[in-house]
Amino acid sequence: MESTEETATVPSTIAFHHRVIVASIFIASSIIGLFGNSLVIISVITTKKLRTITNILVVNLAVTDLLSCACFPFLVIGLLSQTGQYPLHESICASVVCVLHTCVLCSASTLVVIGFIRRYVITRSIRGHQGFHTPRKIISVALVIWMFSAAYMILPPVLGVGKLGYSTYYGICAFLVVTRPAFYYVTSQGILFATILLLTLMFYGLILHHVMRHNQQFREKFASEKDVFSTSGDANQSKGSSSPDSPTPMIKAINQKEVEITKNVFLVVCIFIVCFLASSVNFIIPGSSLSTLYGYMVMMTNSAINPIVYGLKHPNFQEAFKRILCCRRAPLEYVSK
């Protein structure tokens, strides 16, 4: 979150009760996020079925969200301060901003890459994606994401565009705009997050379009085969049509699968839009306002929601979560030798 440098003569601040509301949500998000993201990481480490190539990026996403949630208590300290100063050392506040912004950008970029990888794998044959879909290359992509996110956060203060510190107006650790060129940095952040949002929508939209088109082809194929069987005069027609392998049950299964995939993709996209759209608008049109604080809060809570979206909606993660929470030993098929 960016904030204009406040003057000493006009100590305007956001009402304290709004800061208490935001602090309360940050505390709840921190508890949920630390617990949920830890479960995701432990599940992938201890469950053989979850140690897939794609889940490397899911773990990367969980790590960024875990670090973000670990920083939330330091934001709460500033929000609840009524002295106009950050209660702890200023360097702690600056470090929190640096880690948070790096993790947020890394998390958003990871979501885009996950969408790209899923589309790449779904829309191509196994031979087509083996050359790219390897552990070494996915880990390299994750490292590039981290380096880009860290550089994008560290370089502007180093170049004197702004500074990291405590915003007395918002009562929160933030990137403080102190020079005119910072406008370009703020605008570039808005454009960057808007681009990330559009890319995420595009990749998941392409996945949904491909699945719906693929299922439509299956329905047409089975429907045509059913017409052929109905006019063939085969003596075993009635027996075959009632078998579990007949076209009609398969069409129903395909329809059910299409609805389920549509719901999951719609949920992912909607949550991403809600969490990032408000802050993207505030980045493009900066200014000190109450909506900026709440928009920042909503964007940060995405770190606590991601484990629910990418974990609880996956059957293997559900099983792993239940096993860990119930302290059960993993079955042989879940444990690597």
pLDDT greater than 90 at residue 248: no
Query: The pTM is what?
Result: 0.78
At position 329, the amino acid (one-letter code) is R
The pLDDT, as a whole number, for residue 315 is 75
Q: Are 317 and 311 in contact (CB under 8 A)?
A: yes
Q: 77: pLDDT confidence band, cut at 50, 70 and 90?
A: very high
**CA–CA separation, 337 and 319 (whole Å):** 20
Q: Are 30 and 69 in contact (CB under 8 A)?
A: yes
* Residue-range domains of the chain with CATH: 2-230+238-334 (1.20.1070.10)
**CA–CA separation, 282 and 291 (whole Å):** 8
Q: Which residues of 199-217 are buried (b: 16+ CB within 10 A; e: fewer)?
A: bbeebbebbbeebeeebee
Q: 38: pLDDT confidence band, cut at 50, 70 and 90?
A: very high
The pLDDT, as a whole number, for residue 306 is 75
Spell out the alpha helix ranges (H) of the chain.
16-46, 54-79, 90-122, 126-129, 135-158, 182-231, 237-241, 247-284, 290-307, 315-325
pLDDT greater than 90 at residue 74: yes
The pLDDT, as a whole number, for residue 66 is 94
pLDDT greater than 50 at residue 269: yes
pLDDT greater than 90 at residue 296: no
The mean pLDDT of 147-152, rounded to a whole number, is 90
**CA–CA separation, 62 and 39 (whole Å):** 9
**CA–CA separation, 80 and 173 (whole Å):** 12
**CA–CA separation, 293 and 288 (whole Å):** 9
Tokens at residue 149, please?
């996110």
CB atoms within 10 A of CB 157: 19
**CA–CA separation, 42 and 324 (whole Å):** 8
The pLDDT, as a whole number, for residue 264 is 62
pLDDT greater than 70 at residue 286: no
Place of tokens 């570039």: 188
At position 250, the amino acid (one-letter code) is M
**256 contact partners, CB below 8 Å, separation of at least 6:** none
Q: Which tens digit of pLDDT belongs to each residue from 302-327?
A: 888 877 776 667 777 878 888 888 87
Tell me the CB-side half-sphere exposure of residue 3, using CA atoms within 13 A: 28
Give, as one character, the DSSP assignment of residue 311: I
The pLDDT, as a whole number, for residue 28 is 95
What's the mean per-residue pLDDT of the chain?
75
The pLDDT, as a whole number, for residue 227 is 60
